[in-house]
Amino acid sequence: MDRSVCTRFAPSPTGLLHIGNARTAIMNWVFARHAGGSFVLRIEDTDRERSTIESEAAIYEDLRWLGLDWDEGPDAGGGYGPYRQSERLDIYRQTLNHLVDSGKVYPCYCTPEELENQRQRMAIQGENQQIEDPCRNVSSEQKVRFKTEGRTPAFRFRVEKEDISFNDLIRGAIPFHGENIGDFIIARADRVPMYNFACVVDDHFMQITHIVRGDDHVSNTPRQILLYRALGWETPFFAHIPMILGGDRVRLSKRHGATSVSEYRKNGYLPEALVNFLSLLSWSSESGDEILPKDRLIKEFDFSRVSKSASVFDVEKLGWMNGVYIRGMDVEGLLPLAKPFFKDAHGTVSDQEMRAVLTILHENLETFSQISEKGKIFFQNHVVPENAEAEALMQSAEAKSVFQAFSDETSALSEWNGAVFQTVMKAIQKKTGIKGKNLWMPIRVALTGQIHGPELAKVVEILGLEKCRRFVAEAPHGTGLS
């Protein structure tokens, strides 16, 4: 692997993998593979109260399901580990001591209450600036007094009033003023690092060259650049991708629907479709094509084609895209993926039955979870009309004639398939003089409960003669079997 390009994905194992974080992982992975570089998985688990082994395992599972592999990580090893932050505390402490010894970091003995009181005073006075920490120039005598009081200090980075800027690979030049940043805490009293400090230390020692992340981290970047400078380390490249919004153009949240990768997995989306869709939330191919398998995403990726604007998560478009991928597979390939959905919705179903149903549903299936609703017509024991219109179709005098004729024409049959069904319907038309919608709709509703649906000749083959006769007999105003 070429270490001249090395990206990383660094999730916190505090819950399920969010769809926005998955998009970040995909962008890092695609760019690393495009450049022939390395992709590192790092677990940021310094939040001891919320981090769990179960969440970490779920992250691995979701990433692998998406088809993302990593060259280094907690489970893969590598030459720049360990890859869990909880196992890197000595590294952080050594770096912290160096910064303290150089005078670039100082102990802050202020209590949260004291800092909050200062914020309130400044707000009343109308001052618009960062808090000047009173511990910045604390005397030796004051330190002794604070220690006597039992105060254990946190550690603040000393920010000078200098201009900071960086050239974002997506957004271009972004300037900041040091006087608007203020001294910031880099380690708690127990010397466990805060986010910005831990990231800088990890990214440096793991030789991360490109940091690709959401643009909600733009405000963190100047603090991290200051830390790189203070430590004499080379600053990596930054690329901040736009956030994902819901249809109401508010940041994507649970009220917009599923937000975790595992939910989309459970709802019957294909990983290839989800990767394709998430990639296009912030990037576009020069070709204008929207169906892009991973090999094309990798080949065509370019930061110059990443949008600066927020992207809207369009569930309908994801469904359409997933349907394209489903239609691109043959029934044998779909079978193992669809089996769990058949079982959950319809109980024990034979492979033969599943193949037959998938053959019919294949062209109109957007997610496997639709097997429950779209497939119920093949597994129901009693038909219920889907709405008042469907029920009304079966209550006319013409429908009664069609049902009677269907019973008569099928009473002596032993063979049953789509071709025989077509012959029966022609015989009913000739016998009753009823044709078109008035002929076909009552039969469709009697057999499926629906006004629209798959081709009836294919449906009746799966239902079988006995069930078709029974359903027609049970329809409103049906004649009963003769």
Reported for 317-320, long-range contacts at CB under 8 A and 24+ positions apart, including other chains, are 317/277, 318/269, 318/273, 318/274, 318/277, 319/366, 319/367, 320/366
**DSSP of 262-298, one letter per residue?**
HHHHHTT--HHHHHHHHHTTTB--TT--S---HHHHH
Query: Could you tell me the domains of the chain?
Result: 89-241 (3.40.50.620), 277-376 (1.10.1160.10), 388-474 (1.10.10.350)
CB atoms within 10 A of CB 39: 23
C-alpha–C-alpha distance, residues 237 and 256, integer Å: 33
The two three-digit tokens of residue 112, written as one number? 């949260």
What is the C-alpha to C-alpha distance for residues 452 and 455, in angstroms, rounded to an integer?
A: 9
254 among known catalytic residues: yes
pLDDT at 74: 97
CA distances (Å), 278 to each of 19, 36, 95, 201, 282, in order?
A: 8, 22, 37, 30, 8
The answer to whether residues 396 and 468 touch, using CB atoms and an 8 Å cutoff, is: no
Q: Give the separation between CA 4 and CA 6, rounded to whole angstroms.
A: 6
Contact partners, residue 360, CB within 8 Å, separation at least 6: 454, 455, 458, 459, 462
pLDDT in tens, the chain (482 residues): 446 899 999 999 999 999 999 999 999 999 999 999 999 999 999 988 999 999 999 999 999 999 999 999 999 999 999 999 999 999 999 999 999 999 999 999 987 777 677 667 766 665 555 556 678 887 778 888 888 888 889 999 999 888 899 999 999 999 998 778 889 999 999 999 999 999 999 999 999 999 999 999 999 999 999 999 999 999 999 999 999 988 777 777 666 556 899 999 999 999 999 999 999 998 999 999 999 999 999 999 999 999 999 999 999 999 999 999 999 999 999 999 999 999 988 888 899 999 999 999 999 999 999 999 999 999 999 999 999 998 888 888 999 999 999 999 999 999 999 999 999 999 999 999 999 999 999 999 999 999 999 999 999 999 999 999 999 999 865 444 44
What's residue 141's pLDDT?
81
Cα of first residue to Cα of last residue in the chain, in angstroms, is 76
How far apart, in whole angstroms, are the C-alpha atoms of residue 479 and residue 338?
Answer: 38
| Closest-CA residue to 476 (of 396, 407, 395) | 395
- The residues near 438 (Cβ < 8 Å, ≥ 6 apart) are 396, 398, 399, 402
Residue 95 C-beta-side C-alpha neighbours within 13 Å: 24
From the candidates 104, 143, 254, 299, give the one annotated as an active-site residue.
254
b/e burial code for range 143-152 (CB count within 10 A of at least 16 → b): eeebeeeebe
Q: Where do the H-state alpha helices sit in 362-474?
A: 371-374, 388-393, 397-410, 418-432, 437-448, 456-463, 465-474
- The DSSP annotation for 409-437 comes to HHTT----SHHHHHHHHHHHHHHH---TH
